[in-house]
Amino acid sequence: MKTIKVSAASRSYPVYIGTGIRQQGEIWAHKIRGSQVLVVSNETVAPLYLDEVLDAVSASLVDSLILADGERYKTAREWLQIVDKLVALKASRDVTVLALGGGVIGDLAGFAAATYMRGVGLIQFPTSLLAQVDAAVGGKTAINHSQGKNLIGAFYQPDAVVIDTSTLVTLPEREYIAGLAEVVKYGALGDAEFFIWLQENAARLKEREPEAVQHAIERSVQSKAAIVAADETESGQRALLNLGHTFAHAIETAGAYSEWLHGEAVAVGMLLAARLSEIRGIASPNSLPALTGLLAELDLPVRLPAGVDKNQLLDIMRLDKKNLSGQFRFVLLSAIGQACIDQQVDEAMILQTLDESSNQPS
């Protein structure tokens, strides 16, 4: 088992990475605050792993809550279901909420833990690749609004993150491939050496070779841990982790959170950001081709969804959380391994970028 420490300003905690570690009761015991545990999962993951987790967790009162599965269910209604369950259990401030699932469950359970009694215990047990390399680490919790993704949320660090790589065996192919987009993101924004490794090992990753997958997860978590330690609340450097996400969140919102998976939208969003970087005149000439080639090799989408309304996307992007004083703030790509925050993007540049992607041949 590999342990990576996240040293955030508000709380430091371990990220445990290994195969079969969910059955190691001592991992859970060391991070459960009191006598009560609520395991929050969804209807897809719970039949696979809930019983094992309940058996491994040691506490006087252990209960569970099963929610619907999917991004469109990351709403205030589901968040309130978790809060209602905690109230029904008469949970005190030393209760621990254990998030068992992908990024949606992690966000929902994390936001409930952040807000119930102004903050209770939280352990993240991510079962999707996307959540393991990104969503479960770093303390971002949120729910969606009909007008924008993750508009309601809080920074709230967990007490621990438990990444059992064996859960990826049961992950559907589409969800696994979508998670690779977030892995590519780390190489693109700040680790050119890792990007090259991904190019050389794309076939192994697609085949889910355990050694390659574990290395990709460890390298991604290490990258995120370093950035979160330097900037916990996204006042500066941490915004770089949003490479491609301004476009991606708009694509997801326009599709009512039901058409594209987050990683699929991030893949296209990164390419749009790379093209926008060219339009701004700050990109190296090989960045966009290299990024396009790697994403295509990993079977990720490389162009906008058919029939997308670019004006609708632009309107959604006006509400992006990175914007300040009505001014767009984009994460752009000056070279592979080198991202930057740019405030010189105007609406004409965004529309040109969207137009060119929409007009690419299929």
Strands 148-155 and 140-145: antiparallel
Cα–Cα distance measured from residue 19 to residue 25, given in angstroms and rounded to the nearest whole number: 14
Cα–Cα distance measured from residue 319 to residue 189, given in angstroms and rounded to the nearest whole number: 23
CB 268 within 8 A of CB 302: yes
Cα–Cα distance measured from residue 2 to residue 225, given in angstroms and rounded to the nearest whole number: 14
* Structure token pair of residue 305: 């969804």
* Structure token pair of residue 205: 């990753």
The burial class, CB within 10 Å (0-12 / 13-18 / 19+), for 87 is exposed
Q: Where are the alpha helices (DSSP H) in 89-172?
A: 103-115, 129-130
Q: Mind telling me the catalytic residues?
A: 118, 140, 182, 224, 234, 238, 242, 245, 249, 262
Non-local CB neighbours of 22 within 8 Å, separated by 6+ positions? 49, 52, 53, 56, 125, 162, 164, 167
